[in-house]
Amino acid sequence: MDTKELLKKVRKIEIKTRRLSDHVFGGEYHSTFKGRGMTFSEVRQYQYGDDVRAIDWNVTARYNEPFVKVFEEERELTLMLVIDVSGSEIFGTQQQTKREYLTEIAATLAFSALQNNDKVGLLLFTDQVELYIPPKKGRSHILRIIRELLEFKPEGVGTQIASPLAFLSGVLKKKAIVFLLSDFMDDNYEKTLRITAKKHDLTGIRIFDPREARLPNIGLVPMQDSETKQLRWINTQSKKTRTAYAKYYEQQVANFEALFSKCGAGTISCSVEESYVKKLLGYFKARL
């Protein structure tokens, strides 16, 4: 994509998603993810009714009278967008691919964070960490994130969710709001998910195309795995084959929901044919 076309696409996404974040998600985002951490502000003399556990014993000893530590709610937050750019994300049978759809969701969340004066970071992954942009504030930073989502060409094609989660543990020292966007066609990431969910406010957003859930009965057709590039001929006339495929897909979805719930993380499932606006708003309101 040339520079002119890229800038046009970035601007189009900005106009659409910023309007949503300003008029729809801004207040909901702030209410849902307002600062929950407490940071030290000052010390003052003890007053009747103060919690004795807040007494600063060093200052008390120095002045020979009780002083307490005063804490205030930490308002500045960090939003981390962890996004799957593996081969399966280019799948799409309707108006847009899964990657185009998740780009809009990510941009909407980013502009909501911007309105709240929060920092926003980006982590793109496949079966490896592909790109890390440290959290920063500002519109120009958000536009850079959108540009990367639109034009980044990953080296890998597979999906390994454990890799970006392990990477986050090393780069994010303070608690952050983490949105993990993927189709979650992966296994063996429970351990890193549990560690991430314990440290951060984690939400998994599953992006899917309804055509992925069922095999159509269209005879013998060649199918290529978008990640492994393996080509196989599949007899879709076979009811046994269609049933096995549907069962496998349903099991992957059930595993995603059960695993996140077990680890204390939130989940949202969005079809590319649905309005993500309603899904996000419903999720935000349910958390209030």
* Residue 67 identity (one-letter amino acid): F
Q: What is the pLDDT of residue 37?
A: 54
* pLDDT in the model for residue 213: 77
Q: How far apart, in whole angstroms, are the C-alpha atoms of residue 256 and residue 81?
A: 18
List domains and CATH numbers for the chain. 3-33+75-287 (3.40.50.410), 38-73 (no CATH)
pLDDT, position 198: 94
Mean pLDDT score across all residues of the chain: 85
Give pLDDT tens digits for 10-32: 888 888 787 777 766 766 776 77
Q: Please give the pLDDT value at position 260.
A: 96
Could you write out the DSSP letters of every residue in 238-254? Answer: -HHHHHHHHHHHHHHHH
Q: CA-CA distance, 135 to 17, in Å (whole number)?
A: 19
Say which range, 99-108, 220-229, 277-286, has the weakest mean pLDDT: 220-229
pLDDT value of residue 98: 87
Please give the residue that has the higher pLDDT: either 50 or 194.
194
Q: Measured between alpha carbons, how far apart are the two ends of the chain, in Å?
A: 41
pLDDT in tens, 119-151: 999 999 999 999 999 999 999 999 999 999 989
CA distance 229 to 224: 6
Cβ neighbour number for residue 82 with a 10 Å cutoff: 26
